[in-house]
Amino acid sequence: MLVTVLGATGKTGSLIVAELLARGFPVRGAVRRPEAADELRARGAEAVLADLRSDTGALAAALAGSDVVINAAAASDPQPGLAEAVDRDGAINAVKAAEKAGADRFVQVSSLFADRPDEGPEFLHRVLRAKQASDLALAESALAWTIVRPGGLTDDPGTGLVRIADRLTIAPGIPRTIPRADVAAVTAAVLDEPSSRCRGFDLTSGTTAIADAIAA
């Protein structure tokens, strides 16, 4: 089962590639720079050059043969219009390309509050609305989708302990962050959990082991 990771050079994407390789999946990383492709190959993955903003046909060619596409790409720069270009239009383009390439599953790394942008922090409203639009397009696609909505990402070591729900209650005193390593572990683990097909869920650090939280 070939899994292609979009945004494989990102902090979370790189950890997702490592999780998938450790779990024995054949992995292809989609990257924008040739040096990054060489690094991925050295780690034991296939590599392909791809940009979410390319035309759908070119992106579909980069995804050819993939059973699963994981999208961990995002605009990491607050430049005006970039969230709309990458997190909304680019992610929608990736969904169309995955359909065109004949993939079965699509796992989207989204964000807490992407399904309710107005409840998220005001400075994130624009990004959350962009993610909401692409998440909705994915859920309406023919793909078996999973939308992972993590809280604020940290670079702390993974704990393996999380909180997952269709919609988490976010209240003072309850953690709303999560290490990227735990997001990567959850993103890889959903591939082994059929009940995660066509589901979206909020994700933060918590007290439940990842496999149990996903199964529940």
Residues touching ligand NAP: how many (CB under 6 A)?
24
Coil, strand, or helix at residue 120?
coil
The least CB distance from residue 54 to ligand NAP, in Å, is: 8
Q: Which of 29, 150, 200, 206 binds ligand NAP (CB under 6 A)?
A: 150
Q: How far apart are CA 174 and CA 13, in angstroms?
A: 26
Q: Token pair of 72, please?
A: 């961990």
Whether the CB-CB separation of 168 and 202 falls below 8 Å is answered with: yes
**178-216 b/e with 16+ CB inside 10 Å = b?**
bbbbbbbbbbbbbbeeeebeebbbbbbbbeeebeebbee
In the stretch 69-108, what mask flags binding to ligand NAP with x, by CB under 6 A?
---xxxxx---------x---x------------------
**Could you tell me which stretch among 11-19, 60-68, 158-166, 203-211 binds ligand NAP (CB under 6 A)?**
11-19
Q: Which of 99, 100, 152, 215 binds ligand NAP (CB under 6 A)?
A: 152
| Position 10 contacts ligand NAP (CB under 6 A) | yes
DSSP-assigned states of every residue in 46-110: EEEE--TTS-HHHHHHHHTT-SEEEE-----S--TTHIIIIIIIIHHHHHHHHHHHT-SEEEEE-
Q: Which residue, 56 or 215, has its beta carbon nearer to ligand NAP?
A: 56
In the stretch 33-52, what mask flags binding to ligand NAP with x, by CB under 6 A?
x-----------------xx
**Site residues (vs ligand NAP, CB under 6 A):** 7, 9-13, 32-33, 51-53, 72-76, 86, 90, 109, 111, 150, 152-153, 180
